Amino acid sequence: MSPILLDYAMEHRHYYRFDLSQPTTLLKNNLSLGNYCLTNIGYGGAFVAGQQLDINRGDMVYLYIEINHAEKKLKYQISTIVVYVSADGVGLTWIEPDVDIYQIIEYTVPNAA
């Protein structure tokens, strides 16, 4: 792994995280790694709870979320880099924060707006 990627893959938490329980799917190399639970999210990243994930620090994965909002189903696929791996799950940081992340937080976390 390049020194630039290693530095980027270090977790630098500068934003508040909101607790939630939201079903999510993780994708790596266009293949589903399975369904997990998004347990907290913030403007800088998220934590996905799950065991036996075939993920390493520095991997690029996609976080796929479906949210029911205002009588329609919204679908999001966000690119992330794995910055933390534990027996309980993985910490992710957004590669390019965009409006989708703000919508996910607004639509899934009470009083986040």
Q: Can you give the residue ranges of every domain in the chain?
A: 3-108
Q: pLDDT, tens digit, for every residue of 72-107?
A: 999 999 999 999 999 999 999 999 877 788 888 888
Q: Please report where in the chains the tokens 């800088």 appear, as a residue.
A: 44
Q: Which residues contact 6 (CB under 8 A, 6 or more apart)?
A: 58
The two beta strands, 17-28 and 60-69, are: antiparallel
Separation in Å, CA 41 to CA 6, 44, 105: 22, 8, 7
Q: pLDDT, tens digit, for every residue of 12-67?
A: 556 677 899 999 999 999 899 999 999 999 888 999 998 877 899 999 999 999 99
Strand partners, 11: none
* Assigned CATH topology for domain 3-108: Thrombin, subunit H (2.40.10)
Tokens matching residue 5? 């990627």
